Chain A
Protein backbone atom coordinates (compact mmCIF):
# COMPACT_ATOMS: atom_id res chain seq x y z
CA UNK A 1 0.00 0.00 0.00
CA UNK A 2 1.25 3.48 -0.87
CA UNK A 3 -0.83 5.02 1.95
CA UNK A 4 -1.55 8.71 1.30
CA UNK A 5 0.09 10.26 -1.75
CA UNK A 6 0.23 13.93 -2.68
CA UNK A 7 1.24 15.76 -5.84
CA UNK A 8 3.13 17.92 -6.48
CA UNK A 9 5.87 17.88 -3.83
CA UNK A 10 6.90 21.46 -4.52
CA UNK A 11 5.25 24.36 -6.31
CA UNK A 12 6.01 28.03 -6.84
CA UNK A 13 3.14 30.29 -7.91
CA UNK A 14 2.82 33.94 -8.64
CA UNK A 15 0.14 35.96 -6.89
CA UNK A 16 -3.18 35.45 -8.65
CA UNK A 17 -2.33 32.13 -10.26
CA UNK A 18 -4.44 29.06 -9.58
CA UNK A 19 -3.52 25.47 -8.91
CA UNK A 20 -4.91 22.20 -7.59
CA UNK A 21 -3.18 19.99 -5.04
CA UNK A 22 -3.97 16.34 -5.48
CA UNK A 23 -4.34 13.72 -2.75
CA UNK A 24 -5.16 10.02 -2.96
CA UNK A 25 -5.32 7.21 -0.39
CA UNK A 26 -5.47 3.47 -0.95
CA UNK A 27 -6.55 2.41 2.55
CA UNK A 28 -10.30 2.49 1.87
CA UNK A 29 -10.69 5.30 4.41
CA UNK A 30 -13.94 7.21 4.60
CA UNK A 31 -12.68 10.57 5.85
CA UNK A 32 -10.07 12.84 4.30
CA UNK A 33 -8.58 16.15 5.38
CA UNK A 34 -6.48 19.05 4.19
CA UNK A 35 -4.23 20.87 6.68
CA UNK A 36 -1.71 23.63 6.32
CA UNK A 37 1.44 23.84 8.46
CA UNK A 38 3.05 27.15 9.23
CA UNK A 39 6.06 27.70 11.51
CA UNK A 40 5.07 28.04 15.15
CA UNK A 41 1.39 27.41 14.41
CA UNK A 42 1.11 23.65 14.20
CA UNK A 43 -1.34 22.22 11.69
CA UNK A 44 -4.61 23.94 10.94
CA UNK A 45 -7.56 22.26 9.28
CA UNK A 46 -8.62 23.81 5.97
CA UNK A 47 -11.38 21.47 4.79
CA UNK A 48 -12.44 17.93 5.45
CA UNK A 49 -14.64 15.29 3.87
CA UNK A 50 -16.29 12.92 6.31
CA UNK A 51 -17.41 10.64 3.52
CA UNK A 52 -17.62 10.48 -0.25
CA UNK A 53 -19.90 13.22 -1.50
CA UNK A 54 -19.58 15.52 1.51
CA UNK A 55 -17.18 18.34 2.33
CA UNK A 56 -17.05 20.80 5.22
CA UNK A 57 -15.05 23.83 6.21
CA UNK A 58 -12.38 23.64 8.87
CA UNK A 59 -10.61 26.37 10.79
CA UNK A 60 -9.05 28.25 7.85
CA UNK A 61 -11.10 27.67 4.65
CA UNK A 62 -10.92 31.13 3.08
CA UNK A 63 -9.21 31.17 -0.32
CA UNK A 64 -9.57 27.43 -0.85
CA UNK A 65 -12.01 25.01 -2.42
CA UNK A 66 -12.09 21.24 -2.30
CA UNK A 67 -13.49 18.34 -4.27
CA UNK A 68 -14.01 14.79 -3.05
CA UNK A 69 -13.74 13.19 -6.45
CA UNK A 70 -14.38 9.65 -5.20
CA UNK A 71 -13.58 7.66 -2.08
CA UNK A 72 -9.85 7.66 -2.87
CA UNK A 73 -9.24 11.24 -3.99
CA UNK A 74 -9.59 14.63 -2.33
CA UNK A 75 -8.24 17.72 -4.08
CA UNK A 76 -7.55 21.23 -2.80
CA UNK A 77 -7.80 24.19 -5.16
CA UNK A 78 -6.39 27.68 -4.81
CA UNK A 79 -8.33 29.86 -7.24
CA UNK A 80 -6.22 33.00 -6.86
CA UNK A 81 -3.07 32.39 -4.86
CA UNK A 82 -1.87 34.94 -2.32
CA UNK A 83 1.48 35.19 -0.49
CA UNK A 84 -0.38 34.36 2.76
CA UNK A 85 -1.02 30.91 1.31
CA UNK A 86 2.69 30.12 1.29
CA UNK A 87 2.77 27.03 3.48
CA UNK A 88 3.23 23.28 3.60
CA UNK A 89 0.01 21.47 2.82
CA UNK A 90 -0.76 18.03 4.18
CA UNK A 91 -3.50 15.65 3.20
CA UNK A 92 -4.64 13.03 5.71
CA UNK A 93 -7.17 10.24 5.88
CA UNK A 94 -8.79 8.19 8.57
CA UNK A 95 -11.09 5.21 8.99
CA UNK A 96 -14.24 6.52 10.59
CA UNK A 97 -16.71 4.38 12.48
CA UNK A 98 -15.76 1.82 15.12
CA UNK A 99 -12.63 -0.21 15.60
CA UNK A 100 -9.09 0.06 16.91
CA UNK A 101 -7.84 2.19 14.03
CA UNK A 102 -10.62 4.71 14.29
CA UNK A 103 -9.53 8.34 14.31
CA UNK A 104 -5.86 7.63 13.64
CA UNK A 105 -5.02 9.99 10.83
CA UNK A 106 -2.50 8.95 8.20
CA UNK A 107 -0.63 11.80 6.53
CA UNK A 108 0.82 12.30 3.10
CA UNK A 109 4.36 13.63 2.57
CA UNK A 110 3.19 17.20 2.01
CA UNK A 111 3.30 19.85 -0.71
CA UNK A 112 5.57 22.83 -0.15
CA UNK A 113 3.92 25.83 -1.81
CA UNK A 114 5.50 29.24 -2.26
CA UNK A 115 3.48 32.17 -3.56
CA UNK A 116 5.53 35.16 -4.69
Chain B
Protein backbone atom coordinates (compact mmCIF):
# COMPACT_ATOMS: atom_id res chain seq x y z
CA UNK B 1 0.00 0.00 0.00
CA UNK B 2 1.16 3.52 -0.71
CA UNK B 3 1.16 6.34 1.79
CA UNK B 4 2.19 9.96 2.19
CA UNK B 5 3.27 11.76 5.34
CA UNK B 6 3.27 15.50 5.82
CA UNK B 7 4.78 15.81 9.29
CA UNK B 8 3.82 19.44 9.90
CA UNK B 9 0.21 20.51 10.32
CA UNK B 10 1.27 24.13 9.98
CA UNK B 11 4.31 26.03 8.77
CA UNK B 12 4.81 29.71 9.59
CA UNK B 13 7.19 31.80 7.50
CA UNK B 14 7.88 35.51 7.33
CA UNK B 15 7.25 37.16 3.98
CA UNK B 16 10.40 37.23 1.87
CA UNK B 17 11.99 34.26 3.65
CA UNK B 18 12.47 30.87 2.01
CA UNK B 19 9.87 28.22 2.75
CA UNK B 20 9.86 24.44 2.87
CA UNK B 21 6.87 22.14 3.23
CA UNK B 22 7.91 18.58 3.94
CA UNK B 23 6.62 15.37 2.38
CA UNK B 24 7.75 11.77 2.62
CA UNK B 25 6.19 8.85 0.81
CA UNK B 26 6.04 5.08 0.73
CA UNK B 27 5.32 2.99 -2.36
CA UNK B 28 6.25 -0.52 -3.37
CA UNK B 29 7.50 0.51 -6.81
CA UNK B 30 8.56 3.80 -8.34
CA UNK B 31 6.54 6.89 -7.47
CA UNK B 32 4.80 9.61 -9.35
CA UNK B 33 4.71 12.57 -6.94
CA UNK B 34 2.55 15.67 -6.91
CA UNK B 35 1.97 18.88 -5.00
CA UNK B 36 -1.41 20.58 -4.93
CA UNK B 37 -2.56 23.81 -3.30
CA UNK B 38 -6.00 24.57 -1.92
CA UNK B 39 -7.27 28.06 -1.17
CA UNK B 40 -10.25 28.48 1.19
CA UNK B 41 -13.51 27.11 -0.19
CA UNK B 42 -11.85 26.12 -3.45
CA UNK B 43 -10.84 22.91 -5.18
CA UNK B 44 -7.26 21.70 -5.41
CA UNK B 45 -4.93 23.28 -7.94
CA UNK B 46 -1.99 21.42 -9.44
CA UNK B 47 1.43 22.93 -8.61
CA UNK B 48 4.01 20.47 -9.89
CA UNK B 49 4.85 16.82 -10.39
CA UNK B 50 7.77 14.44 -10.53
CA UNK B 51 7.46 11.62 -13.03
CA UNK B 52 11.01 10.94 -14.12
CA UNK B 53 14.20 12.79 -15.01
CA UNK B 54 15.67 15.71 -13.06
CA UNK B 55 15.21 15.45 -9.32
CA UNK B 56 14.51 19.19 -9.05
CA UNK B 57 11.10 20.00 -10.45
CA UNK B 58 9.86 23.52 -11.07
CA UNK B 59 6.20 24.38 -11.00
CA UNK B 60 3.64 27.16 -10.82
CA UNK B 61 3.98 30.41 -8.83
CA UNK B 62 7.74 30.00 -8.29
CA UNK B 63 7.47 26.73 -6.37
CA UNK B 64 9.86 23.85 -6.80
CA UNK B 65 10.31 20.44 -5.24
CA UNK B 66 13.21 18.06 -4.92
CA UNK B 67 12.79 14.33 -5.33
CA UNK B 68 15.13 12.39 -3.05
CA UNK B 69 14.83 8.66 -3.65
CA UNK B 70 17.14 7.57 -0.83
CA UNK B 71 15.20 9.61 1.73
CA UNK B 72 11.83 8.95 0.02
CA UNK B 73 11.08 12.66 0.21
CA UNK B 74 9.58 15.29 -2.05
CA UNK B 75 9.78 18.59 -0.17
CA UNK B 76 8.14 21.70 -1.60
CA UNK B 77 10.24 24.86 -1.62
CA UNK B 78 10.14 28.49 -2.61
CA UNK B 79 13.07 30.94 -2.31
CA UNK B 80 11.00 33.95 -1.22
CA UNK B 81 7.54 33.57 0.32
CA UNK B 82 4.60 35.84 -0.47
CA UNK B 83 1.58 36.49 1.74
CA UNK B 84 -0.54 35.19 -1.13
CA UNK B 85 1.16 31.78 -0.77
CA UNK B 86 -0.81 31.22 2.42
CA UNK B 87 -2.98 28.16 1.75
CA UNK B 88 -3.33 24.43 2.41
CA UNK B 89 -0.77 22.29 0.59
CA UNK B 90 -1.14 18.62 -0.23
CA UNK B 91 1.49 16.12 -1.31
CA UNK B 92 0.25 13.09 -3.26
CA UNK B 93 1.73 9.90 -4.66
CA UNK B 94 0.85 7.30 -7.23
CA UNK B 95 2.66 3.99 -7.52
CA UNK B 96 3.92 3.60 -11.08
CA UNK B 97 3.73 -0.16 -10.84
CA UNK B 98 -0.02 0.10 -10.58
CA UNK B 99 -2.31 -2.35 -8.96
CA UNK B 100 -5.15 -1.30 -6.74
CA UNK B 101 -6.93 2.02 -7.15
CA UNK B 102 -5.80 4.30 -9.90
CA UNK B 103 -6.30 7.45 -7.85
CA UNK B 104 -3.75 9.44 -5.92
CA UNK B 105 -2.95 8.93 -2.25
CA UNK B 106 -2.84 12.27 -0.47
CA UNK B 107 -1.13 13.43 2.67
CA UNK B 108 -3.18 15.13 5.36
CA UNK B 109 -2.14 18.59 4.23
CA UNK B 110 0.02 21.38 5.65
CA UNK B 111 -1.29 24.84 6.37
CA UNK B 112 1.25 27.38 5.15
CA UNK B 113 0.96 30.77 6.80
CA UNK B 114 3.06 33.64 5.49
CA UNK B 115 3.28 36.54 7.92
CA UNK B 116 3.71 40.08 6.57
Contact = CB atoms under 8 A, between A and B. Distances in A.
Interface of A: 4, 31, 33, 35, 40-45, 48, 50, 56-59, 90, 92, 96, 102-110
B103 interface: yes
17 contacts: A4-B43, A40-B109, A42-B109, A45-B103, A48-B101, A56-B101, A57-B101, A58-B101, A102-B51, A103-B51, A103-B94, A104-B49, A105-B103, A106-B46, A108-B43, A109-B42, A110-B43
B65 to A, nearest CB: 14
Contacts of B104: 43, 45, 105
A34 to B, nearest CB: 9
Interface of B: 4, 9, 32, 34, 36, 41-46, 49, 51, 90, 94, 101-109
Contacts of B107: 42
Contacts, number: 64
Nearest to A41: B108
Contact of A59 (B32, B45, B46, B101): B101
A50 B102 contact: yes
B49 A103 contact: yes
Contacts of B43: 4, 90, 107-110
B7 to A, nearest CB: 13
A45 B92 CA distance: 12
Nearest to B104: A105
Given A42-B107, A42-B108, A103-B94, A90 B102 contact: no
Given A44-B106, A48-B103, 12 more contacts: A42-B107, A42-B109, A43-B90, A45-B101, A58-B103, A103-B34, A103-B49, A103-B51, A104-B34, A107-B43, A109-B42, A109-B43
A103 to B, nearest CB: 5
A102 B46 CA distance: 12
